[in-house]
Amino acid sequence: MKVYLDNAATTPLSKEVLDEMLPYLTEHFGNPSSIHSYGRKAKAAVEKARKVVAKYLNASTAEVFFTGSGTEASNTIIKCSVRDLGVKRIITSRIEHHCVLHSVETMAHEGIQVDYVKLDEKGRVDLNDLENLLKTSDKKTLVSLMHANNEIGTMLNLEAVAEICKMHQAIFHSDTVQTIGYFPFDVQKMKIHFLSGSAHKFHGPKGVGFIYINGEAAIKPFIDGGAQERNMRAGTENVYGIVGLGKALELALEYGDENKKYISGLKHYMMDKLKTEIEGVDFNGDISDEGSNYKVLSVSLPSCEKAELTLFNLDMAGVAASGGSACSSGSEKGSHVLEAIGANPNRKAVRFSFSKYNTKEEIDYAVSVVKKMIAPVLPIPVI
């Protein structure tokens, strides 16, 4: 049996998405910048996808820009905010994705002050600490905090953070790569300047993402070149990728509630099964329905020799998941997220992440494999 439970890493492309993309890989191959019919056909497809993104966010189409990835989106936001908006200080957290953390580190090397907000043991942002940090300085500040953590699923209260940022005139970016396509968004309801999204996380193709840029946050291009994306992101558009992103988000809009119910059912099913069948199992991050991403479950396995080989053994048994542990020594490269929340380095973490294509039978199988792997070896009775 082959079971894919690594949907926070990437998701399979939907058949409907592929069908929508295929004509743009074949007969509709025009360059959207060309003014002839081939170009216009491609341009119309890009603009149709932009409308879907704008509708999903309740934004204007003028605020949506396609990029080559979620990583590019966050790099653009962070680096261009410093260059173009007078940002002199960045507040972020230690559990951000590396596309944010490393961009912030690059800015720190250029003299930008960086502060890391306090987190609790579940990876929740301490909002009082955020407020205090904002109160302590008059420097123009960018707050960059992810909506849902990709390793442990803990979520941020976007509205609350947006409100705090507004009170202190800070610019607010949220890496929403793990939540776009899974949660409703309404940028009219909160003051948020930037969001980043990535199609392959919601059954779209890889290599295409987008940035939401609030009209008030006028940054200049990160990539210089042609006038594509209304002068915001140069380079011939990944037309079939953008078409796929649009279709995938359209499906997410249409079936979002249904999918959420189904996927969170799978997560609860796995949590219950693991708890009842494996002694000493625990979970990393916030596992409450309100505080966590319903598609991610980070399982903390009791420490034992076999737990070390968990991912390898799961893979051998046909189950794809991701893993990590907090570093136990300085030389070992563990998960920066588990380390930041103070997870026990002796326990192995396995991240299972679900999609609409998973089934309870697959969960049963995955749990049976974990159980077999870490079951205590009983001493052979001496007769």
Ligand X SMILES: Cc1ncc(COP(=O)(O)O)c(C=O)c1O
Name the residues annotated as catalytic: 327
**How many whole angstroms separate alpha carbon 234 and alpha carbon 83?**
18
198 makes contact with ligand X (CB under 6 A): yes
- Tokens at 218, concatenated: 């006028």
Q: Work out whether 174 is an interface residue with ligand X (CB under 6 A).
A: no
Pick the binder of ligand X from 11, 14, 71, 358 (CB under 6 A).
Answer: 71
Shortest Å, Cβ 341 to ligand X: 16
Q: Does 177 bind ligand X (CB under 6 A)?
A: yes
Residue identified by tokens 């003051």 is: 191
Q: What is the SS3 assignment for 351? A: strand
By beta-carbon proximity to ligand X, the closer residue of 76 and 310 is 76
Token pair for residue 181? 């396509």
Question: Which 224-253 positions form the footprint of ligand X (CB under 6 A)?
Answer: none
**Which residues between 13 and 42 bind ligand X (CB under 6 A)?**
none
CB closer to ligand X out of 212 and 365 = 212
Stretch binding ligand X (CB under 6 A), from 123-131, 170-178, 236-244, 364-372: 170-178
Tell which one of 7, 69, 298, 358 touches ligand X (CB under 6 A).
69
366-369, long-range: CB < 8 A, 24+ apart: 366/3, 366/5, 366/270, 366/314, 366/319, 366/321, 367/270, 367/273, 367/274, 367/277, 367/278, 369/313, 369/314, 369/317, 369/319
Determine how β-strand 209-213 pairs with β-strand 194-198.
Answer: antiparallel
Under rule CB under 6 A, residue 162 binds ligand X: no
Tokens 């993402």 sit at which residue?
A: 209
Q: How far is the CB of 336 from ligand X (least distance, A)?
A: 13
| Closest CB to ligand X among residues 70, 246 | 70
Q: Which residue is nearest to ligand X (CB)?
A: 70
Give the contacts of 216 (CB within 8 A, at least 6 positions apart): 193
**Interface residue with ligand X, options 146, 180, 192, 367 (CB under 6 A):** 146
What sections of 88-183 are H helices per DSSP?
98-109, 127-135, 158-167
Stretch that binds ligand X, among 110-118, 173-181, 260-268, 338-346 (CB under 6 A): 173-181
209 forms part of the interface with ligand X (CB under 6 A): yes
Is residue 150 within the footprint of ligand X (CB under 6 A)? yes
**Sequence-distant (≥ 6) Cβ neighbours of residue 221 within 8 angstroms:** 80, 231, 232, 233, 234
List contacts with ligand X (CB under 6 A). Answer: 69-71, 97, 99, 146, 150, 175, 177-178, 198, 209
